[in-house]
A and B are shown apart, each in its own frame.
Chain A
Amino acid sequence: MDLKLRVVSVLLGILVVTLGMVMVGETRVEVEFWHAMGGALGEITAGVVEKFNNSQNEYYVKATHKGSYIETMSAAIAAYRAGEAPHIVQVYEVGTGTMIAAGEAIYPVHELMVDTGVPFDPQVYIAPVKGYYSFADGRMASMPFNSSTAVLWYNKDIFRRLGFDPTQPPKTWPELRDVARKIASSGAAKIGFSCTWLSWTQFEQFAAIHDLPFATKTNGFEGMDAELLLDHPLFLRHVQTLIDMKKEGSFTYGGRDSAPGPLFLSQEAALLMESSALLPRAVREAQFDWGITYMPYYDDFIAEPKNSIIGGASLWVMKRPDATPEHYKAVAEFFRFLSQPENDADWHMATGYVPVTVKGYEVAQARGHYQKNPGADIPILQLMRPGSTPNTRGLRLGNLPSIRVAIYEEVEKALEGAQGAEETIKNIVERGNAILREFEAMYQ
């Protein structure tokens, strides 16, 4: 075949494909979906969207990865200001307060489902998920998507090497401290214990498990004028524990957010408090036998720890000037697809996020997922612990990301030895309350 002919045939091919795409675009209602799932999770998300697109031929969801959670959220806000918001945007759980306050910028899910006539029952969702994403009166504001919770990851190989029973990981903080100290002093691992997302694992989850309020006004659900309640003696005691553990070498601070995660996977750290969504990476990267267990608690404070709260993100529907009822119908159908038990279970089993529906959990059970992967049900069992209270529903605080930064900064100072536990708590409460007042003022 001579060159000219080849060029012409390639061009023709491109033309045909383009035409095909244009025609598909014409016949199907297309909606934009911006998400923050990168790497392995990104591939799984793309798979879910593709499955929806192939399952019918009326609607087409165009998924775009917009970077990290914070990048995705600011991109959506900027796009809204320009009148070009995506129809669906994935927003992390701490952005919930800001999204709810956005008023006319968002289309609450309960309204969307009524307007589009798509059947929707909020009762199918597990309680901590439903609670986190609902208005104070229980109507759902956003669509649950990827929910995780914090768990304790531990290295079973190191446990065996030191003669600990790998089926008996530490249950309480004193036990954890003891094990971490032995690991670090024996040199079995450089780091005994470390944690990711320090504010989330050591304050937010910690409060729920110990049935302590994080803030007044039912953790902010009842109004924007909430104030932090982190000056309870147990928080003080816990910060002191962390400082002491740092000094004796059993706790190592590994940086902010998810930065310490790789320390566990590379066996530098034997114990790590981290999201259950570390799972795909652990499966792919960890060259050792690992286990998951429940978050530790102070057994002299609470005998039966409460349920932990969720992390992760949910899907928000946004208003945009050129959106038609057809577009929102497409969104509603996509949401219905996501909450079907089969799809929920698929997502849970592939990603390590928890099933967001009770039925999804049952499907995973029926498929034998937890027999094949012992411990994979720990996150969901921890979330579904009976006896939940207003303290274990979640947080609804304005500008929670900033409060997290203040917590990081103050605890960093404490671990560096620049201030004591009491001053740390005092500064966190002062700065956190200033941030809350600032947020409140923005809406007056």
Chain B
Amino acid sequence: MTKVSAVFPNKVLPYLLVTPQLTLTIIFFIWPSLQALYQSFTASDPFGVKTRFVGLKNFRDIFTDPYYWHSVRLSFVFALQVSLFVMAVALLLAFMAKNPLRGATVYKVFLLWPYALAPVTTAILWVFMFQPSIGIVATVLRYMGLTWNHTLHGGQALLLLILASVWKQIGYNFVFFLAALHSVPKSFLEAAAVDGASSSQIFTRILFPLASPTTFFLLVMNVIFSFFDTFGIIDTLTKGGPAKATETMCYRLFVDGFKSFLINRSAAQSAVLMLFVMILTALQFRFLQHRVHYE
């Protein structure tokens, strides 16, 4: 296959057209990233009165800190659990909503609603339900003989975070899955029906494989969401506690940078996260190019 590149008669216009986007990217992404990268190699006091170059010291500090490794493990476990949980539920809902359904619009609107909420609002709703002494769910659990106190029990705190994050993210996943399922050509499904395939066979043999680009895209989006966008939920629900049970990499970065004012160490952590996102994005592109079936 030969590479074909578009030919533009005007040599200036294309550059002019990408300039606004490029400017925004440079000002709001590239420049701050470079700043953070620079700061990760220096040491300074909070106010930046004195700054000196320290090489890799900040990275050495975080990688020799067992609490940092704890937050790395926690972040991956959390992201995996949230992603799998949310995708399973959303796919099931989308599969059920695929066929003409009475009140489908209402159903879809209700499912989408949580996505429109700010993370902090989401978290406050869950606080109301699970507040150990007065929350309604906590009260019901107590009657069932279960003690709920996420302010002291690390496992419960993590579970609460996962539930709140999943709840928030289901709508987004649902919409993408629904669109993916709808885009499967009717002829395939009809042919399968003629051949006598059962509903579950149609799902596992036709719908799910054909929706795989969407599934992979959503996996990446959910992992990124779990890593970065859950900050507001964590800050409102648990503040990383109890005893670091919910301190993800992103929350740890915030605690170091904005509570302890160890700005350089915080910058080193953001450099690590940047690297992680770069790897994830590269993976996504490779995977989409080579492995996933396009119609």
A263-B133, A416-B242 known; A254 and B151 CB under 8 Å?
yes
Q: Is A412 engaged at the interface, CB distance under 8 Å to the other chain? A: yes
* A-binding segment of B116-124, B195-203, B222-230, B253-261: B253-261
Residues of A within 8 A of B152 (CB): 253, 412, 415-416
Q: Is B55 engaged at the interface, CB distance under 8 Å to the other chain? A: no
Residues of B within 8 A of A442 (CB): 43-46, 262
Q: Is A237 engaged at the interface, CB distance under 8 Å to the other chain? A: no
Q: Is B141 engaged at the interface, CB distance under 8 Å to the other chain? A: no
Chain A nearest CB from B257 CB (Å) reads 8
A102-B46, A416-B154, A416-B243 known; A70 and B134 CB under 8 Å?
no
Cβ-defined contact, A416 with B259, below 8 A: no
Neighbour of B133 across the interface among A252, A405, A416, CB < 8 A: A252
- B49, B243, B258 pick with most chain A CB within 10 angstroms: B243
* Count of chain A residues near B, Cβ 8 A: 41
Interface residue ranges of A377-401 to B (CB < 8 Å):
399, 401
Q: Is A74 engaged at the interface, CB distance under 8 Å to the other chain? A: yes
Chain B nearest CB from A63 CB (Å) reads 23
Q: Is A98 engaged at the interface, CB distance under 8 Å to the other chain? A: yes
Residues of B within 8 A of A257 (CB): 239
Count CB-based A-B contacts (< 8 Å).
85
Chain A nearest CB from B72 CB (Å) reads 18
Cβ-defined contact, A81 with B151, below 8 A: no
A405 to B244: give the CA distance in the assembly, Å: 10
Chain B nearest CB from A189 CB (Å) reads 10
Q: Is A118 engaged at the interface, CB distance under 8 Å to the other chain? A: no
A70-B258, A74-B258, A98-B261 known; A81 and B47 CB under 8 Å?
yes
Neighbour of B259 across the interface among A70, A254, A438, CB < 8 A: A70
Q: Is A255 engaged at the interface, CB distance under 8 Å to the other chain? A: yes
Interface residue ranges of B235-276 to A (CB < 8 Å):
239, 241-244, 255, 258-262
Residues of A within 8 A of B153 (CB): 416
Chain B nearest CB from A363 CB (Å) reads 38
Q: Is A14 engaged at the interface, CB distance under 8 Å to the other chain? A: no
Excluding A77-B47, A412-B242, 4 further A-B contacts by CB distance (< 8 Å) are: A80-B48, A102-B45, A259-B151, A442-B44
Give the 8 A-B residue pairs with the shortest CB-CB distance, closest first.
A412-B242, A105-B47, A255-B151, A402-B260, A409-B243, A412-B243, A74-B258, A413-B243
Pairs across A and B, CB under 8 Å, 22 listed: A70-B259, A74-B258, A80-B47, A101-B45, A102-B47, A105-B49, A252-B132, A253-B151, A254-B133, A266-B134, A401-B260, A402-B259, A409-B242, A412-B241, A412-B242, A413-B242, A413-B243, A415-B152, A416-B243, A438-B262, A442-B44, A442-B45
